[in-house]
Structure 1
Amino acid sequence: MATHRRSLDTRMAPTKPRLRLGDLIEISRFGYKHWAIYVGGGYVVHLALADDIAGAAASSIMCTLTEKAIVKKELLCVVAGRDKYQVNNKHDDKYRPLPSNKIVQRVEELVGQVWPYSLTSENCEHFVNELRYGVSRSDQVRPQPVSRPLDPDRSLS
């Protein structure tokens, strides 16, 4: 199985690999991964809170409390802040990526738009995978089981 990860943190590798248009960027946050897609010139596109103005804060875990996000184009260094990040095109073995020019064209058309957001079904990882592969998926979340109310007439013993 080929690996599709390229470290972009100089503490992790002596040289930085070249970013390619349409690369998926995985940013390690405390407790989760934020995802963006590289569009050239040092810029990425990602989902952020609609009312957020700071790049690194825009992808905070607080976005799990909202149902809407905005598609933003920002410098990768601003979005990542001090967090480690890497290229992670992890599904290239399973799905054929769209041509990079098509990915960038699709992404650029979405910048500034309000986008639905759900931690479990429409998060930043779903967003970038949909744009690169045409498949909306996230490996960070699993579908939640449906809970049923306890039957008060049923004994637990």
Structure 2
Amino acid sequence: MKKNDYRPGEVIVTDFLGYQHWSIVSDRKCDDNQYKLISATRRNGTVKEEKFDTVTQGRHSYKVGDIGKPEDFLFLIDRARGWIGQWDYSILSANCEHFVNLIRLDKAKSRQLENTLLCSAITLLLVSASSKKISVSSMLCLLVISGGIAVYASRGQPAASNSLNHNEGNIG
């Protein structure tokens, strides 16, 4: 898909180092005729409606789904806008994926976070059950690796195999 081919109500995922950022395509456009994105960011500490390029920062981005039928998405976009400036960002309880899922599914949840915490807990249990002593630095390294694997396994999948690189002027 071309960069301007995404539509209001679609969910866009942007790949950042070690995590994905989740956004909802707005029905409002910028001066450059690109749709804005609504998302919760650590950068802002809350929900904002911003230019596509500001949110994605030129990273690989693609569509993973939409937030309903055309008659539903305006209601849900308005609902997302209701959180602008009201959302207190927290990586553990109110991150971008929590936000998008609250709007889409009425349940604030983050598979990336849930799987990372589960995988890290299993790693801790396995290491503590082992008869070998392990250093703190080795333990931290194992936790980072297991957390990274969990985040990777939790990635949003491109809808209809349309993932393209934003830097090439495309988005899926």
Question: Into which bin does the TM-score normalised by the smaller protein fall?
Answer: 0.5 to 0.7
Corresponding residue number in structure 2 for 1:76: 52
Deviation at 1:20, TM superposition (A): 2.2
Deviation at 1:17, TM superposition (A): 7.0
Identical-residue share of aligned pairs (%) = 27
Tell me which of 132, 145, 154 is aligned to 2:104: 132
* TM-score scaled by length of structure 1: 0.61
Give the 3-state SS of the residue equivalent to 1:110 in structure 2.
coil
Letter in 2 for 1:116: D
Contact 1:46–1:73 at 8 Å: present in 2 too?
yes
- Partners of 1:45 and 1:119 lie apart in 2 by 17
Deviation at 1:137, TM superposition (A): 2.0
- Higher-helix-fraction structure: 2
Contact 1:97–1:133 at 8 Å: present in 2 too?
no
Matched residue count? 118
Corresponding residue number in structure 1 for 2:14: 27
- Partners of 1:16 and 1:71 lie apart in 2 by 23
Contact 1:22–1:132 at 8 Å: present in 2 too?
no
- Partners of 1:102 and 1:39 lie apart in 2 by 11
Tell me which of 41, 49, 52 is aligned to 1:48: 41
Give the 3-state SS of the residue equivalent to 1:106 in structure 2.
helix
Corresponding residue number in structure 1 for 2:77: 104
Q: Deviations over 1:7-63 (max 9, x none)?
A: x5xxxxxx44732222111011011101111112210111123xxxxxxxx27xxxx
- Partners of 2:106 and 2:8 lie apart in 1 by 16
Tell me which of 110, 113, 121 is aligned to 2:93: 121
Runs of 4+ in 1 over 4 A off after TM superposition: none
Give the 3-state SS of the residue equivalent to 2:111 in structure 1.
coil
Letter in 1 for 2:92: T
- Partners of 1:45 and 1:16 lie apart in 2 by 17
Contact 1:26–1:85 at 8 Å: present in 2 too?
yes
Letter in 1 for 2:74: N
Say which is worse superposed, 122-131 or 17-26, in terms of deviation.
17-26
Contact 2:14–2:20 at 8 Å: present in 1 too?
yes
Give the 3-state SS of the residue equivalent to 1:103 in structure 2.
helix
